[in-house]
Structure 1
Amino acid sequence: MMQIHCPFRRLALLCTLFLSGLGAVGYVQAQMDHSSGMTSSTKKHMTCQGSSLECANAATPFFAGDGKLLLAWTANGVVSVAQSNDLGKTFSTPVSIAEHGKSLDTGSDARPQIVADRENNVFLAYSFFKDSHWNAQINTARSLDGGNTFTQPTSLVSDSSSQRFPSVLIKPNGNIFISWIDKRLVAAAKQGGERRLGGSIAYSLSQDGGKTFQAERFANESTCECCRIGGALDTQSQPAIVYRAIFSGGIRDQASQVISDNGAGPVRRVADDDWKTDACPHHGPSIAISGSGKFHVAWYTQGSKRVGVFYANSSNQGATYSKPSRIGAEGANVARPYLLAMGQHVWIVWKEFDGKKSSVFLKESTDDGGTWGSPKILASTAGYSDHPLLLARGNEVFLSWLTRDDGYQLMNIGRNQ
């Protein structure tokens, strides 16, 4: 199941060692972030048969307009969606969207994307590999009946190179914004006999619920090719994205951009981590935007200036960011931070592995990231687990966490003050 993408053979050793700061088990966690070593539960995951939620490797939640929970997941090459009216305690019969077998993209930063508008029209996006060279295709599907049935999946774009890691946001007016890692510029350079590293951030907008999309555009032509994109809507409902960009000298640090109706804004560096690598971290960032418009960003780095998981915020749409602060204990195996903000209240969760079990930690700020409370453990598991995710329904905030031993969990962790 573990997918290690090394773009060059001479960097194979680097791909094996570049996350050594997390330790041997932490490396596996950073690449897959699903398990904590070869426990009996991990072995169960590797042999789990079928496409049910019990065999899922990743699950993505979304609260529909009527308050029901939509859950999309991938298991053994199948993409499925189900609904819950009791906050994840029970689910409807799953709807199988597509079956791609081993070609389904189940890398550690890959997961299906699902959103719904106020009329409960549902939009889904996922990616699968078209060949053995990590060239992928993003498929989309729609439901006009709240998730009971879906259209046949179709390709998001007509370009034949590679598109991967879709990130989807839905605006209050129902327009759907999607961004992804695009490799067409890399493919074109290769055909011209040139060598081009990484990929590009592309994006598009749909004004008809995902039936059609505008012509795709580039936000940044030089980015990491294997890390997910974090996204959030600002106070003007403009998408703000954060991702691992490639800066001069092959430095792969985090960058943010605001996408307006006129196009992509300037690329703004979140922090000068100085991570020079041609390998693939498979460890993307997270962004949340508070009621004041402040950007809150969390990310992972193995830079020469700092190593670990960090947080910073910006009060000027990313023009400048605060000094990065460490998330979790220094020296701990910390991974997969995720943020959510409402009003002046900000929540951040992450995973830590202590050698035997993975735990989800939580910290909160009630003053827009000015100060933070002490971290506390929300849940732990000794086996396979997905990334921790946060979502809101009204003023209530929930942790979404898929584990092998305890199944899918939706935990109410507080409310906006």
Structure 2
Amino acid sequence: MNRHAHGPWRFWLCALTLWGAGLWPQAMAQDASASAGHARHQRPQLATGAAMAPDGRLWVVGVNAQAQLFVQTTALGGPVLWSEPRILNTGQDPIAADGESRPKIAFGPKGWVVISYTMPLAKRFTGFVRMLRSSDGGASFGEPFTVHQDRQEITHRFDAIAFDGKGVLHTLWIDKRDQSPKGSAQAYVGAAIYRNASQDGGASFGPDTKVADHSCECCRIGLARNAQGDLKATWRHVFDGNTRDHAFASVGAAANRITRSTFDGWQINACPHHGPGLAADAHAGANGFHTVWFGIRKVNGQDQAAVRYARLNAQGVPLPKTERTLPDPRAEHADVMAHGSKVAVVWRSSEGAVTTLKAWLSQDGGQNFSLKTLSQTTGYNDHPRLAQNGEQMVVVWRNTQEIQVHELHF
């Protein structure tokens, strides 16, 4: 059995079993600790970040078998010929590189390149968001530093980074500084989303600012830039009654001004480690977004686990009649990107020891899709990640043997 790949149906069956035994929250907490890179972690750390440089080369950042942070690059349009891995100086930092927690890379103006990662601390479920910075297009990187001002030994994890249209670097993360102290009469539900901004490509940062209270604890944050260059975020949120649907907000707007963007109504006191994806929708002047997410909802009285796709308006509200379930009951950890009328959704699908990489491609802004199988592997493998440079989109998928790159042709 492929221990690294757990499809939604397998996930929910396990959840029901653990919930009945009273072990579900404990199991999720243990998985959270493992995904943060603690010493008990036994799986190879394959979670890899990917981005396209301004010159069109694809960059990846990940952790090797010696727990060292590395970058590699390749040109596109022909055979994938990776450069030699370049080991980066991260001092003695342990690095989280599994599942929803992965190193990330982003390119900005003026030759700015930043790489972020979560550094687990000694106490379980805690970490610092760390960053490396380059001002010469990635030819060299400085020493690592902590992004946030808060230095408590608490959760600062599952970071996300992006430059907005004005060249401002935004870093977001899941943060637990607002949790109620032990013995408090009213517990603080979940965690919070915090952020800060840098006007100079990571040389300095503004204050830590809260985006919203009551996020889920261990799911990735999705980021996308709209047509005006403004950054938007989506994350799994804890709504009333421990309902774990998704929220949407403008990065930099006032705290707690959020929109509910999914309505599965999944009520569970645990985190599924299965965050959303977000991409701008500029087709025919839409100025909205494409989103993908995993959720469980009641359908004819039965729990139905699925990865779903929908379009959102500019404020993050779901557009009527755009939601659909991905055509694969084993789909998990989907990602989405778009350019004009072209929309790509990718995911992995597991059955026994075999994991399949699939793509769902649209040429009409997400109204119709065609399904493609891109690759298969056995054993441990990462979640697929999309990277793009304009209309050119590629899928990056890592296993224990290689980092695959699949250019998408619509």
What TM bracket, shorter-length normalisation?
A: 0.7 to 0.9
Partner in structure 2 of residue 363 of structure 1:
360
2:275 maps to which of 253, 268, 284: 284
Partner in structure 1 of residue 326 of structure 2:
327
Partner in structure 2 of residue 208 of structure 1:
200
Once the two structures are aligned, what percentage of the paired residues are identical? 26
2:49 corresponds to 1:60: yes
- Structure 1 unaligned regions, length at least 5: 19-27, 33-44, 48-54
Task: Give the letter aligned to residue 301 of structure 1.
Answer: G
2:173 corresponds to 1:177: no
Task: Give the letter aligned to residue 368 of structure 2.
Answer: T
- Asked if the contact 1:64–1:120 (Cα under 8 Å) also holds between the matched residues in 2, the reply is no
Question: By how many angstroms is 1:66 displaced?
Answer: 2.2
Q: Distance in 2 between matches of 1:322 and 1:224?
A: 26
Question: By how many angstroms is 1:80 displaced?
Answer: 2.0
Task: Give the letter aligned to residue 279 of structure 1.
Answer: A
Q: Distance in 2 between matches of 1:138 and 1:384?
A: 26
Alpha-carbon RMSD across the aligned residues, in angstroms, is 3.0
Q: Distance in 2 between matches of 1:167 and 1:381?
A: 28
Matches within 5 A, 1:59-138: 59-76=48-65, 78-87=67-76, 88-98=80-90, 103-138=94-129
The alpha-carbon distance between structure 1 residues 93 and 106, as it changes in their structure 2 partners (threshold 3 A), is closer
Partner in structure 1 of residue 309 of structure 2:
311
Per-residue deviation, residues 203-256 of structure 1 (Å, max 9, x unmatched): 121110011111121111111011110110011111111111000111111111
SS at match of 1:212: coil
The alpha-carbon distance between structure 1 residues 162 and 77, as it changes in their structure 2 partners (threshold 3 A), is farther
SS at match of 1:313: strand
* Bigger mean CA offset, 221-230 vs 249-258: 249-258
- Asked if the contact 1:78–1:97 (Cα under 8 Å) also holds between the matched residues in 2, the reply is no
Q: Distance in 2 between matches of 1:189 and 1:389?
A: 38
Matches within 5 A, 1:3-22: 13-15=23-25
- Structure 2 unaligned regions, length at least 5: 5-10, 36-40
Instruction: Give the count of matched residue pairs.
Output: 375
SS at match of 2:125: coil
- Asked if the contact 2:335–2:385 (Cα under 8 Å) also holds between the matched residues in 1, the reply is yes
Task: Give the letter aligned to residue 150 of structure 1.
Answer: F
Q: Distance in 2 between matches of 1:302 and 1:97?
A: 42
The alpha-carbon distance between structure 1 residues 222 and 265, as it changes in their structure 2 partners (threshold 3 A), is closer
SS at match of 2:172: strand
Q: Distance in 1 between matches of 2:107 and 2:21?
A: 42
- The runs of at least 4 consecutive aligned structure 1 residues that moved more than 6 Å come to 8-11
Partner in structure 2 of residue 23 of structure 1:
none
Q: Distance in 2 between matches of 1:17 and 1:328?
A: 29
Per-residue deviation, residues 165-215 of structure 1 (Å, max 9, x unmatched): 1111112432111111011001x5448565222100111211100111111
* Bigger mean CA offset, 293-302 vs 188-197: 188-197
Partner in structure 1 of residue 210 of structure 2:
218
Q: Distance in 2 between matches of 1:326 and 1:409?
A: 26
Task: Give the letter aligned to residue 136 of structure 2.
Answer: D
Task: Give the letter aligned to residue 209 of structure 1.
Answer: G
The alpha-carbon distance between structure 1 residues 265 and 130, as it changes in their structure 2 partners (threshold 3 A), is closer
Per-residue deviation, residues 248-267 of structure 1 (Å, max 9, x unmatched): 1111111111225x435732
Q: Distance in 2 between matches of 1:226 and 1:364?
A: 29
1:400 maps to which of 396, 399, 402: 396
- Asked if the contact 2:191–2:213 (Cα under 8 Å) also holds between the matched residues in 1, the reply is yes
Question: By how many angstroms is 1:137 displaced?
Answer: 0.8
* Bigger mean CA offset, 216-225 vs 66-75: 66-75
TM-score norm. by structure 1 comes to 0.81
